[in-house]
């Protein structure tokens, strides 16, 4: 029997409970998922890529259906190399849809058999983004409701809160 494997790409700087919600719910539809963290220097990440990957691996260490990998360059090149043709993406708002719609159509120009599954996070996390988490933490705000403990601890180290 063929197993369905998907890739959930992103910078995950840092990973939030919204990301985790998408990952866990996607396993209702697929057999396994690769969380593909990208080192996107244009985004000026707070956490180094290896730290992000380490945190994500720690969060999902009990789940054998979830792998975490680093990638750089074009997502379609990574997918071709892995021979995976299914992407999981989260949608929070209309502006996400517009951006994701462009990505899907562009990626299909490079990889015609590529499919994308979009999931909306639970209502508790629909507003949540890594950028918001970093802004709250940078001002000494509480982020415990929005990210796993390991992320909270790392944010406290960086922002000395």
Could you list the active site residues?
19, 43, 92, 130
CB of 158 closer than 8 Å to CB of 30: no
What distance in Å separates the CA atoms of residue 130 and residue 19, rounded to the nearest whole number? 9
Is 87 exposed, middle or buried, given 0-12, 13-18 or 19+ CB atoms closer than 10 A?
A: buried
CA distance 85 to 20: 21
In terms of C-beta density within 10 A (0-12 exposed, 13-18 middle, 19 or more buried), how is residue 136 classed? middle
Cα–Cα nearest to 87, from 33, 133, 134: 33
Calpha distance 154→18 (Å, rounded): 18
Beta bridge partners of 88: 117
């Amino acid at each position: 029997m063929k197993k369905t494997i998907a890739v959930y790409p992103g910078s995950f700087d840092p990973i939030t409970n919204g990301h985790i919600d998408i990952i866990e719910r996607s396993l209702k539809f697929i057999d396994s998922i690769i969380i593909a963290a990208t080192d996107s220097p244009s985004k000026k990440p707070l956490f180094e890529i290896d730290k992000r990957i380490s945190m994500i691996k720690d969060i999902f260490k009990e789940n054998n259906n979830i792998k975490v990998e680093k990638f750089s360059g074009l997502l379609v090149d990574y997918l071709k190399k892995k021979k995976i043709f299914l992407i999981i993406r989260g949608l929070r708002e209309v502006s996400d849809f517009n951006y994701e719609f462009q990505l899907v159509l562009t990626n299909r120009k490079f990889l015609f058999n590529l499919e994308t599954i979009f999931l909306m996070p639970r209502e508790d996390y629909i507003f949540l983004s890594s950028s918001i988490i970093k802004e709250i933490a940078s001002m000494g705000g509480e982020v415990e409701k929005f990210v796993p403990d390991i992320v909270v601890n790392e944010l406290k180290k960086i922002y000395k809160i």
